[in-house]
Structure 1
């Protein structure tokens, strides 16, 4: 269907089509190519070759053969080698060559989209499939026969026209030699991944730790497109007066993102959407201050970033493994599904909206903030006011001693046990990542 749709729209030669899903043999590769694929994704088979026995406990950190775990005791059981995967793929390649030779061709490129080479009689004549008409799949629309069947044109990403080009021109001296610069520009929602290319050059010049905080301060007005501030390293601050699309702060790697309504706006920011879905997806480090409500899947797979927001949609904090979320308003349903690390402070949390399985099993602890949590919350609220001029955060600070009682701390049980065990180890002068501490962690978590 993908092949036919691309051919119908005159786009087949502009893209490379990749197929995956239960690819295990050279025969699978050949069939995929004949149906229109040029690239082939192998996942499960190489994983098994590496030693995986499909226990399906990857998310529990209890993999018995040491493939999917950070536990050093279990990791010692891993006996896979890269050579095993190389050997497997060479067997796949050899089988592909044999099939190509049998068909009379020398390369995969020569057979891409050649559906006429597929023999379907054996399947159609089987009693279970008798009468099945495969013509729509194999032949497709007749009027697209003259269209190319494989990739032929290189894609032009038009990087020379990317929004970040002007940021790089102005910040090139800071990127090269350090210092500080403030850049003010308008932005439109056609500008995607603003700050990402700039971040690439910062990382390339200074390594994974980037520049000192505040080195490059970018102040934008308008509406930003998707992936605003994606993968941005330390040293870059993006401030946006307006709103943004999905994926703000995707993969954030140390930078700071501030999104607030335009100055002088008359609507209540805490009741209006400021950014789209999947904010902070896979973030590892950095800060986000969002003066408004965001969409679904807020901070999915966050592992280290801190974010303050005034309301979220469904499935917030899904698969979160680290970091801190402060939610000052309402949440959608299914909060904390698969959350195994990090923590959140949520104002007047409706516990019925938290993932039921996690609550019923005790995997998530819902309780009041401790004294240390309260100080962290106060500090973040003050920063939120300073960065976004949030009316809601200012109101909470005005009566903080009373309002802090309305916050609920969401904390994964095992994560809390691990933090406590590691802190005790540090107090005792032990290596928090050593075998002794890991054995203690296994005891307290039951893992």
Structure 2
């Protein structure tokens, strides 16, 4: 770009820049490999000025304070400093004095070293543009401006939720928020995680309320709503409890047990709030209303079906589970005798056997075992008989051959005819070659 005509500069104040308007009588522009001649074209060029700069807009709270200060101070000595709010003068500072207008006399402070202006007891009306003007001892006047936004502090934030009980799959809920102050944003969270809209979760257009329909058990938890502005924030919380169940009723305990053992059956269910329980035995109420059914000592009458019923007092729902128990004699179900009981029984049997053996030996040695006599008077069977013992191993059987007693540790019977004294009063019994088993 080449300019060979008159340059005219006009200084404009806008945020952080000074604008220069350049009038060019003739201008050559090279674009896309072609020269375009523009006759009498006005071109506006922007140049960054060296005036006073500020970091950015300031934020303040009602009743609070704020400080305005330029980022870089002038390098030359200063004669006069002026601070304005819009077009209204706040103060004038000379090298040896500072004059504050009456409207700000009790609310501002000025630091000559940093050119900083402190404004206290802020009101909403203090929002606007603040302009700093510096007149150096030599050179052009320097200016800079910044802005202030004053907000009311956020207070009294609260959440309003349902008062009735919420039942899964049946109820709907609306949570609304309210609060005071300058509210710029509203954020919702659940259990410290952002709450997002879905098919069942819907936010209002101003984001100050949320609706859930229908509610599910996963909707239980702590809901948080935060109101914010640049100078303050406040959060309100609300707990939601979604009632459900009972479901997944389960009975734990042994299925097969021995006689005379302790049995405990435990019932559980998935429910909110916690379910209450009742028990039936073979369809008959037992009056047991705890989650545990106990049998102190089993007998055969305890065999049967134990039914646990869980009841939710809020949802008005119930669910049951059956458990079959079999009581049997010996073994089974892990209810057998302990090692101590078995040892006691063995010792008792041994003591009893030893006592009987000792008694037999004693009676034998003292000849106190009575002799049995059956004496017969006359030929009739109803008389007295003598019962005598004889070793029949030396006798022959009626059919011939000798009597063989075999192993005496085993029970066996051998019969033989034995004649004693005179003629037999009666023929032998009709057993062929066998006689009564009482003859050994």
**More helix per residue:** 1
Q: Smaller-chain TM-score range?
A: under 0.3
Bigger Rg, structure 1 or 2 = 2
TM-score using structure 1 length: 0.18
TM-score by length of 2: 0.18
Q: Identify, as 1 or 2, the structure richer in strand.
A: 2
